[in-house]
Amino acid sequence: MDIFYIVINLVVFALLIGFLIFLRRKHVSFSKRVFSALGLGILFGVALNLIYGSTSSVTAQSVDWFNIAGNGYVTLLQMVVMPLVFISIVAAFTKLKITKNIGKISALVIGTLLGTVSIAAFIGIVYALVFGLDGLRLTSGAAEAARNAALQSSVQSVQNLSFPQQIVSLLPANPFADLTGTRPTSTIAVVIFAAFIGIAYLGVKRKQPDKSVLFANLVDTLYAVIIRMVRLVLRLTPYGILALIARFTATSDYSAILKLGQFVVASYAALITMFVIHLIIISLLKLNPATYVRKALPTLTFAFTSRSSAGTLPLNVETQTRQFGISDGIANFAGSFGLTIGQNGCAGIYPAMLAIMAAPSAGVNPSSPSFILMLILVVAISSFGVAGVGGGATFASLIVLSILNFPVAIVGLLISVEPLIDMGRTALNVSDAMVAGLLTGRATGELNKDVYDQRNPEPQSAV
Task: Specify the pLDDT at position 128.
Answer: 93
Mean pLDDT value of segment 408-433 = 85
Q: pLDDT by residue (tens digit) across 275-326? A: 999 999 999 999 999 999 999 999 999 999 888 888 888 899 999 999 999 9
The 8-class DSSP code of residue 98 comes to S
Selected residue with higher pLDDT from 393 and 197: 197
Q: For residues 115 and 429, what is the distance between their CA atoms, to the nearest angstrom?
A: 13
Q: pLDDT by residue (tens digit) across 189-225? A: 888 898 899 889 988 988 888 888 899 999 989 988 9
DSSP 43-55: HHHHHHHHHH-TT
Q: E strands, 272-410, where?
A: none
8 Å CB contact between 244 and 67: no
The type of residue at 163 is: F
pLDDT at 6 over 80: yes
Q: For residues 463 and 460, what is the distance between their CA atoms, to the nearest angstrom?
A: 5
8 Å CB contact between 97 and 322: no
Q: For residues 459 and 238, what is the distance between their CA atoms, to the nearest angstrom?
A: 14
pLDDT at 327 over 80: yes
Task: Specify the pLDDT at position 187.
Answer: 78
The type of residue at 336 is: S
Mean pLDDT value of segment 343-372 = 91
The type of residue at 399 is: I
Q: pLDDT by residue (tens digit) across 92-112? A: 788 766 656 778 888 999 999
Using pLDDT thresholds of 50, 70 and 90, give the confidence band for residue 247.
very high
Number of other residues whose CB lies within 10 A of the CB of residue 345: 32
pLDDT at 450 over 80: yes
DSSP 348-386: IIHHHHHHHHHTGGGT--TT-HHHHHHHHHHHHHHTTT-
pLDDT at 2 over 60: yes
Task: Specify the pLDDT at position 39.
Answer: 92
CA 292 to each of CA 273, 298, 437: distance values in angstroms, whole numbers, following the listed order: 16, 11, 12
φ and ψ of 326, to 5 deg: -85, 145
Using pLDDT thresholds of 50, 70 and 90, give the confidence band for residue 115.
very high
